[in-house]
Structure 1
């Protein structure tokens, strides 16, 4: 799996690359600006995932994200930042980003988030997006999570849900785990019951 990381902070970029290579078994290409990332995408793309720092030179906010999406050939592009707020994250996701990665994430969470996005799923950190707000539970669920939750309420297995939506079974397992955490459910059965009781589907 080839990943492109673009960040003007060398230490941060190199630490992330080392982590993904050692713990995630990925091959990481590094760039220090948006311009360099665009050049690398044209030269060596497509990549399984492109990670762009929101504040690096040349980004110009979400314009840089859109430029990368145009070059990605349909592959996922995500934003990462240490200072961007919830509004930026939501705008990026609405613009087509595969996810938003806070630089405050733990090492393990970062590797899992990158793998998740590289599989074509959307990563939206629940704690970050729900900070300073009291949104409805339905608002906190991604479209894919609602699809999986629907399958759970119908008593379907992970394999059946995966087949219904043409995704990998391991992806369904990740969604079930996330759903249980978001809903405060102990297991998939309780998650399904809570979904029906709270009209989340």
Structure 2
């Protein structure tokens, strides 16, 4: 069984490849972006499964999935991600993804998921699909406006001016947002918002 892993993080890519080889997959190849993945398929023929990092260069959301599916001659293409919303996973599956593999998945589960998808089934972790999306529905209109400001790289002062509020009020909103999004800081909150398509 031939598997291609495309991920722009060297450690993640090599760790997944190593796990699969330990589980008996003999032909596991790795590349670092979508362009390389498509070139690899064109050069060596379709793979039994291609795993694409959802956020790597060239993906442009689900456009990359469609391009890879076309290149891989109808064989399964699935998405890898460290942080992807349930709605985004459902969209990907609706558009023909063979499934979604979290980067935190246990090694035995990873092996089983890959075999499952190669067999033509659709894989998404049951627990993940049962969880409500973490924050999308929990933000107030004002919190969403503040979050948009964070994503635009604005300071608290600039957000306050734009929304005609006190800077102290914005600080409180940022603190609440970080709590709701389980973010370490304002930059992390903006990253989560982008990853989960909250805006």
**Fold similarity call, TM over 0.5:** yes
Q: Does 1:34 align with 2:34?
A: yes
Which 5+ residue runs of structure 2 have no aligned equivalent? 134-199
| Highest RCO, 1 vs 2 (Cα 8 Å, sep ≥ 6) | 2
Task: Pick the structure with greater CA Rg.
Answer: 2
Query: In the alignment, what sits opposite 2:121?
Result: 121
Alignment of 1:76-91 (within 5 A): 76-91=76-91
Shift of 1:25: 2.6
Q: Does 1:105 align with 2:110?
A: no
Q: Distance in 1 between matches of 2:63 and 2:25?
A: 31
**Equivalent residue of 2:50, what SS?**
strand
What is the count of residue pairs matched by the alignment? Answer: 133
**Equivalent residue of 2:23, what SS?**
helix
Q: Does 1:48 align with 2:48?
A: yes
Query: In the alignment, what sits opposite 2:94?
Result: 94
Shift of 1:124: 1.8
Q: Structure 2 length normalisation: TM-score?
A: 0.65
Which 5+ residue runs of structure 1 have no aligned equivalent? 134-201
Q: Distance in 2 between matches of 1:48 and 1:58?
A: 22
Query: In the alignment, what sits opposite 1:20?
Result: 20
**Equivalent residue of 1:121, what SS?**
coil
Q: Does 1:71 align with 2:71?
A: yes
Runs of 4+ in 1 over 3 A off after TM superposition: none
Q: Distance in 2 between matches of 1:26 and 1:112?
A: 15
2:58·2:64 contact (CA, 8 Å) conserved in 1? Answer: yes
Shift of 1:69: 0.6
Q: Structure 1 length normalisation: TM-score?
A: 0.64
Shift of 1:35: 0.7
Q: Distance in 2 between matches of 1:64 and 1:98?
A: 14
**Equivalent residue of 1:4, what SS?**
strand
**Equivalent residue of 1:92, what SS?**
helix
